[in-house]
Structure 1
Amino acid sequence: MRYVWIVLAGAASYGLLSTFTKLAYSQGYGLGGVVGSQTLLGFIGMTIVAAGLRARRSSPRQRPSRRQAMRLLLTGFVTGLTGIVYYGALQYIEASLAIILLFQFTWIGVLGEALIRRRKPEKGQLWALLPLLAGTVLAAGPDVWRGEAAWQGIVLGLASACTYSGFIAASGTVAPGVHPVTRSVWIAAGAALITMALLPPKHLFDGQFTGGLWQWGVLLAAFGVLLPVTAFAVGVPHIGPGLASILGAVELPVAVAMSYAVLGEPVSLPQWFGVLLILGGVALPELLRRRAPDAPPSPAPSR
């Protein structure tokens, strides 16, 4: 149970990010500064964590091969793009809607795998689409039902779901033999590089970062990179990736609850019911898989 709580804490930390981002926007900071601060400080923090772990281990320093390093950097590019488009969506729509759109990665990933690998989805995945889609319709909220939500935010939110599904597909196959923390350092480096390339880090030179932006960068890096990556690296080997994938869905209710409690965004009872349906859809494939004999586990969540 200790490791269950560790993984839950790591997953819940992801749910805080949209609220922190909204609060940073309310203080006048822009997309480039917010995302850039998170990715840069996240990379620095993961490097420090990896150095500390290497100092405690008696084994020699573990290095990925050149090919593995390049693939990890490319994976980092994808997660960096996810942060850019997701935080971009938060400029136009409420945090509670943005997280709902991000969670569309569940069925987008199933569809993408079916198209790319030309493989029919598992029966459990198909059954899961019913509560996922029904929950999305309910959880989207009245602004979407009335067509009043900003189309830019909806497009960016769905784009974040697409890039996040691509990241999950890549993270489960890239350099699996490398230590999770070492992999995370390279992925964090890729995220920082693509962010600085697409959003030049002007905030580092115009006084924004030292003037207060660094505080939001520290919070986003801690709860978006350091805590969840470390928690999954410690907990998943003990509880298994299948259970971790279910526990990872706690990000959704945490994000919606934070948007309601801290940001004051209205969340109706039908929307909460939609959130529960989405959680059920996320958990259903793994629950059905556990009932099947000799079933392989599903991949653990990661970002």
Structure 2
Amino acid sequence: MKQRHRGPEAGGEGERRQETYLVGVWLAVLSAFGFSFKAILIKLAYAVPQETPVDAVTLLALRMLCALPVFLWCARSAGRGGKPFSRRDALAIIGLGLVGYYGASIFDFVGLCYISAGLERVILFTYPILTLLFEVLWFRRPVSGYERLAVAVCYAGIALVFVHDLGGAEHQRDIWLGSGFVLASAATYAFYLSGGGRLIARYGSVRFASAALIVSTLATFVHFGVVHSPAALVQPVRVYLLALIMGLFSTVMPVFALAAAISRIGSAPAALIGSLGPVLTIALGWGMLDEPLSLMQIFGALLVIGAVLLIGRKGRQAARKAIPAVVEEAEAAEAEPVGPVSG
């Protein structure tokens, strides 16, 4: 029996594939780190010493101002040669941009005025569970036993992290208030994902997300103009620097890094690596913000991550049986992410 010998071309191709996969893994890690670092940057900006600390609306406006040129470039590049938005779709994108990005972002920034970065990221990471619940309500698909289990495990994990922060808080009302704002952020982002599937399949995720982000940016500027004068934009240099890093490193870069990672390793491994987010934020909060760290907090975060991964791994099979058209459209657009997680 003759043995097959692999030529140098085959060996070289295998090495290239391995290198491509490794690059994809590191891009996914970089994306997860960028998303996780956002809450740390927000807390650092709030803590910059000045007579009147920067507020959520001003900081969000500065962040969006830094990222806007990239959004405009993406919208122009993705829209070149594509079909124009219909009036109905344009109105839908405006609505989803206002709710899913502007609403999610402002709720998140306000919530971080009251709670730790670690608790914020754990609550925010529940958006896939909330997306599932919205789909159950909208498409009336049945909920399987494992999905009920995932929801229960997810909120048990949140409860552990919440109790951890509540026990060490001087003002427990702040923990309740901040958690409510961040949960509203996760819910509005989940609403955006649930409502955007058909538009993403029709126009592509980059074009759709860029348009929605531009709408969100304009809404943020209007909000700022209503509640502040232009003088509020005068901030210490450190606030400008943090807003710039936030806009580029924790908004633009993670989106493109995630897109590149998915193209190299696939969406499932990229999602698995992205689940490191809550743990990374908890670790960064402990190391950079002196936030308390406990085994209860870590265990709670792991429960949330496990529940989200369970939904992500098995949810598509259940969805395909109940709403195949929606799943086919989502899979057609799966090669690219739809934007920064919850603002």
For 1:130, the aligned partner's letter is A
Question: In 1, Cα distance between the equivalents of 2:74 and 2:241?
Answer: 20
The CA deviation string for residues 58-94 of structure 1, in whole angstroms up to 9 with x for no partner, is x954354244444333322121111101110111111
Answer yes or no: is the 8 Å Cα contact 1:13–1:251 preserved in 2: no
Question: Which of 277, 286, 291 is the matching residue for 2:312?
Answer: 286
1:4 aligns with 2:29: no
Question: Which of 61, 68, 91 is the matching residue for 1:43?
Answer: 68
1:32 aligns with 2:32: no
Answer yes or no: is the 8 Å Cα contact 2:164–2:296 preserved in 1: no
1:248 aligns with 2:248: no
Structure 1 unaligned regions, length at least 5: none
Which sits farther off after the overlay, 234-243 or 246-255?
Answer: 234-243
- In structure 2, the partner of 1:189 is 214
- In structure 2, the partner of 1:230 is 256
Question: In 1, Cα distance between the equivalents of 2:84 and 2:103?
Answer: 23
The CA deviation string for residues 230-264 of structure 1, in whole angstroms up to 9 with x for no partner, is 12333324433344333332221121111111000
- In structure 1, the partner of 2:185 is 160
TM-score normalised to structure 1 length: 0.84
Structure 2 unaligned regions, length at least 5: 1-20, 322-326
Q: 1:39 to 1:74 in 2, by over 3 A?
A: farther
Equivalent positions of 1:44-123 (< 5 A) are 44-48=69-73, 60-62=80-82, 64-67=84-87, 68-77=89-98, 78-123=100-145
Q: 1:212 to 1:8 in 2, by over 3 A?
A: closer
Question: In 1, Cα distance between the equivalents of 2:155 and 2:233?
Answer: 45
Answer yes or no: is the 8 Å Cα contact 2:58–2:233 preserved in 1: no
Answer yes or no: is the 8 Å Cα contact 2:208–2:338 preserved in 1: no
3-state SS of 1:264 partner: coil
**Alpha carbon RMSD of aligned pairs, Å?**
3.0
1:139 aligns with 2:161: yes
Answer yes or no: is the 8 Å Cα contact 2:54–2:235 preserved in 1: no
Answer yes or no: is the 8 Å Cα contact 1:72–1:175 preserved in 2: no
3-state SS of 1:174 partner: helix
3-state SS of 2:195 partner: helix
TM-score normalised to structure 2 length: 0.75
3-state SS of 2:143 partner: coil
Shift of 1:11: 2.6
The CA deviation string for residues 142-185 of structure 1, in whole angstroms up to 9 with x for no partner, is 34358825132122122112112112223433232434433332
Question: In 2, Cα distance between the equivalents of 1:141 and 1:94?
Answer: 12
Shift of 1:191: 1.1
Identity of aligned residues (%): 23
Q: 1:114 to 1:276 in 2, by over 3 A?
A: same
Q: 1:90 to 1:229 in 2, by over 3 A?
A: same
